Amino acid sequence: MISRGPDGRFVERKTTMTTKIKKHDIPRIFSGIQPSGDLHLGNYLGAMRQFIELQDNNDCIYCVVDMHAITVPQDPEALKKHILDLAALYIAVGIDPKKSILFVQSMVPGHAELSWILTCSSYTGELSRMTQFKSKSRGEESAPTGLFCYPVLMAADILLYDTDQVPVGNDQTQHIELTRDLATRVNNTKGETFIVPEGRYLKEGARIMALDDPTKKMSKSDPNIHSRISLMDPPNKIKKTIMRATTDSEAIVRFDAANKPGISNLMNIYSVLTGESIADIETSFTGKGYGDFKKELVGVVQESLAPIQERFNDIRYSDELITVLKDGAERANAIAVPVLARVKERFGLGL
């Protein structure tokens, strides 16, 4: 039955569909990262470390979201390389394919199918309010439709697996809210169809800032390579980037994110990688200058990244990586197919 809702929009009132969706005994986690270039310390400390911790007590699904990557122009060969690089890095940092499902988005057709169905439940108004879309399309009269629909594809990724929780950075809050809105809207109009997922936001301390300018976040798209430390950076690049990192003129190793953002960011990185508290770091560097602290940090970062790089080199060109991704796609597909069948049934699609 179709009638107007309180806001004047046409809404379809709930029909007779009442099947309950079974709650999971173990929370299901889904997250994705775009294969859009070298991953950096921010991605690792902010997002991937949480993915690894979650593996032990949850049912985790991690994805290389290659279809999101083509919302901006991509060279096909470079994209293929970045997909395999990212998959190998997931494993190198500690995602265990025996514990978690690791797969490439475009290998499971349900993402694109569900994305279209959700597109038909979304409004241009809500999509044009997305800040990521606004910033990526700024100044252009006509923006790529893929960029506009990006958050609907992200909602499809999440809802396709009956996901309970989505670990992401705070920059993704609006996309998670849209996902929840779309799920609730479909549930209200078609009967219970989706689990409404929760965002699981990374702690504030997990935000790593750019090393050349600590007022902006470390980012893979920054043109200055000394703004970030990539996970595959060689030891000399790590040294160069840290030694030239922007600090202040006080030269006292003290944490004060508002007034001393540069040194505070470096102390944060040191603390997360070593497990030492900020207070202990301040104590052990009392009377020492920034040069001493930076030299220590160079060693800490080099030692932390060496095993990741070694594991990456072992797996990146191996048959094992391909086997893991094929197996991951099969396991993901086995979860996605019945969810998509449920959605199609609710929408009256097919026979």
* Residue 32 touches which of ligand LTN, ligand ATP, none (Cβ within 5-8 Å per kind): ligand LTN
47 binds ligand ATP (CB under 6 A): yes
Burial label, 195 (beta-carbon count in 10 A; 0-12, 13-18, 19+): buried
CA–CA gap between residue 217 and residue 210 (Å, rounded): 5
> Minimal distance in Å, beta carbon 219 to ligand ATP?
3
65 binds ligand LTN (CB under 6 A): yes
* Residue 154 touches which of ligand ATP, ligand LTN, none (Cβ within 5-8 Å per kind): ligand LTN
Q: From 34-42, 75-83, 273-281, 290-298, give the range in contact with ligand ATP by CB under 6 A.
A: 34-42
Q: Which residues are catalytic?
A: 136, 217, 220
The residue of the chain with the least Cβ separation from ligand LTN equals 32
* Residue 206 touches which of ligand ATP, ligand LTN, none (Cβ within 5-8 Å per kind): ligand ATP
Considering only residues 200 through 239, tell me which ones interact with ligand LTN, judged by CB under 6 A. Answer: none
* Residue 335 touches which of ligand LTN, ligand ATP, none (Cβ within 5-8 Å per kind): none
Considering only residues 188 through 207, tell me which ones interact with ligand ATP, judged by CB under 6 A. Answer: 206-207
3-class state of residue 191 by DSSP: coil
Report yes or no: 102 and 52 within 8 Å, Cβ to Cβ: no
CA–CA gap between residue 110 and residue 107 (Å, rounded): 9
Fill in the per-residue mask, 167 to 186: x = in contact with ligand ATP (CB under 6 A), - = not in contact: -xx-xx--------------
Which position has the token pair 């979304």?
122
> Minimal distance in Å, beta carbon 47 to ligand ATP?
4
Choosing from 28, 29, 30, 46, the residue that interacts with ligand ATP (CB under 6 A) is: 46
* Residue 221 touches which of ligand LTN, ligand ATP, none (Cβ within 5-8 Å per kind): ligand ATP
* Residue 43 touches which of ligand ATP, ligand LTN, none (Cβ within 5-8 Å per kind): ligand ATP
**Phi and psi, residue 50, nearest 5°:** -70, -35
Fill in the per-residue mask, 111 to 140: x = in contact with ligand ATP (CB under 6 A), - = not in contact: ------------------------------
Which position has the token pair 């922007």?
246
CA–CA gap between residue 42 and residue 253 (Å, rounded): 22
DSSP state of 226: G
Neighbours of 173 (CB within 10 A): 13
Please give the radius of gyration of the chain, using alpha carbons only, rounded to the nearest integer. 22
> Minimal distance in Å, beta carbon 244 to ligand LTN?
28
**Phi and psi, residue 205, nearest 5°:** -60, -15
> Minimal distance in Å, beta carbon 145 to ligand LTN?
17
**Token pair belonging to 80:** 């293929």
Report yes or no: 167 and 50 within 8 Å, Cβ to Cβ: yes
154 binds ligand LTN (CB under 6 A): yes
Number of amino acids touching ligand LTN (CB under 6 A)? 13
Our CA angle for 94, 96, 98, nearest 5°, is 170
34 binds ligand LTN (CB under 6 A): yes
Considering only residues 213 through 232, tell me which ones interact with ligand ATP, judged by CB under 6 A. Answer: 217-221
> Minimal distance in Å, beta carbon 67 to ligand LTN?
9
**Token pair belonging to 70:** 């083509």
The answer to whether the Cα torsion of 29, 89, 149, 108 is positive or negative is negative
For residue 198, the cross-strand partners are 165
> Minimal distance in Å, beta carbon 271 to ligand ATP?
14
Angle, nearest 10°, between helix axes 173-190 and 319-347? 40
Query: CB-side exposure of 254: number of CA atoms within 13 Å?
Result: 11
Residues in contact with ligand ATP by CB under 6 A are 33-34, 36, 42-43, 46-47, 168-169, 171-172, 206-208, 217-221
Residues in contact with ligand LTN by CB under 6 A are 30-32, 34, 65, 68, 154, 157-158, 166, 168, 172, 175
